[in-house]
Amino acid sequence: MSKFDNTFDSAKRYFDAAAAKTGEVIGSSKLKVERSQIRTRINSLYARLGRAYYASRNGNAEEEALIDKILEKLEGAMSDLEDVEVLIASSKSIKCPICGKKNSAGVDFCKECGMSLYDDEEEF
């Protein structure tokens, strides 16, 4: 029964690792979709801002009042985009320059060989 238990434990570890990796990929994909949606919203706001500006230059006072609202929404969307970009960057793995092993973002040393993942000269 011990051989069966070892095989079962090995299979469980493999599937747990695969599930974790799948979760990472799904999370990364969701962030990229969100980034795309925010960029689309920003482009729409810029287009609307351009139309409002043009109309206000032609004497439409209602459009002039709308410009401030559009700018406020645009600033919020730009902030949202920055937040998503930070999340995407922090979810990327770092490849060790010595052994080539992929490491989670945010770690300083390779989990395989222990070498620094960053060039020490860049920190100064």
pLDDT digits (tens, 9 = 90+) for 71-112: 999 999 999 999 999 888 877 788 888 898 888 877 888 989
Whether residue 82 contacts residue 42, with contact meaning beta carbons closer than 8 Å, is answered with no
Q: Residues with Cβ < 8 Å from 43, sequence gap 6 or more?
A: none
Three-state DSSP state, 95: strand
Query: Which residue(s) pair with 102 in the sheet?
Result: 95
* CA angle in degrees (0–180, nearest 5) for 23-39-64: 145
Least confident of 2-6, 15-19, 84-88, 93-97: 15-19
Q: Residues with Cβ < 8 Å from 94, sequence gap 6 or more?
A: 102, 103, 104, 105, 107, 117
Whether residue 85 contacts residue 77, with contact meaning beta carbons closer than 8 Å, is answered with no
Least confident of 15-24, 25-34, 57-66: 15-24
How far is the C-alpha of 3 from the C-alpha of 42, rounded, in Å? 58
How far is the C-alpha of 104 from the C-alpha of 111, rounded, in Å? 9
